[in-house]
Copies of this chain bind each other. A is one copy, B any other.
Amino acid sequence: MQGEPEREAGTGSRRGKGAGTVRLAELSERSGVSTPTIKYYLRERLLPPGRRITATQSEYGEEHLRRLRLVRALIQVGRIPVTTAREVLAAIEDDSLNHHHRLGAAVEALPHGPEADETDPATAAARRTATELLELLGWRFNLEVTAASRPFGMLVAAIAALDHLGYACDTAHLLPYARQAEQLAVFDLDLVEEFPTPEGQVEAAVALTVLYEPVLLSLRRLAEAEESNRRFGTDG
């Protein structure tokens, strides 16, 4: 760290000394995250190290503020374990991937509920239903990558659970939900594209995927109450 070459300060330098760099105390103040928590994130490599300026002090830039925001979204809001969060961040930083794949790998690394139980016969049937659904939808990208895809595994497990409990869950039941998901993904990607840089977009894709889940689930429950009142309510 000490041996890191000094770089010219300026707008082009990502970690250059200048308007954008701050000490730990100010990083804490600006992010609203306590210094012990920031130090913990640094130790756990959830946050890249700052630029060492003396033996005991480092300075931090805008990318630390942004990353801190993402780490809080994952850990404090999404309640994602530290190991998984590190995996998500590694995908974000993987320079060997193009923009789409980096974005996909990061979202893919997010936790995804219970695994499908491969010893259970219902799992094989659920996998056929899920694959048939992707074919009906013409989701060609997902059809190519299904074998390794975590969200696909999550869908298979969810269908198998419904089947076990005796609730019909064939493609006819799933298709309307999938069509809604297509619309949601358009809104999600529109939000992501509001961010100007590729790094910002990948971070936003991960953060917004996590942060909009409770928004979506609470809106669905509120809408259910509204619709139930419309159908069965005695007042109004």
Contact = CB atoms under 8 A, between A and B. Distances in A.
A174 B232 contact: no
Contacts of A178: 219, 223
Interface residues of A, number: 85
A60 interface: no
A38 interface: no
Contacts of A169: 215
A182 B209 CA distance: 20
Interface stretch (A8-16, A17-25, A96-104): A96-104
B222 A149 contact: yes
Given A73-B165, A151-B218, A165-B69, A139 B226 contact: yes
Interface string A214-231: 111111111111111111
Interface in A179-236: 180-189, 191, 193, 204-205, 207-209, 211-234, 236
A193 B169 CA distance: 15
B221 A107 contact: yes
Interface stretch (A51-59, A83-91, A153-161): A153-161
A103 to B, nearest CB: 5
A230 B140 CA distance: 10
Contacts of A72: 164-165
Q: Count this chain's copies in the assembly.
A: 2
A125 interface: no
A181 B222 contact: yes
Given A188-B227, A226-B142, A151 B209 contact: no
Contacts of A157: 214
A213 B151 CA distance: 13
Contacts of A151: 218, 221-222, 225
A186 B230 CA distance: 10
Given A182-B223, A189-B231, 9 more contacts: A72-B164, A140-B236, A142-B222, A167-B208, A181-B216, A181-B222, A186-B227, A189-B224, A205-B228
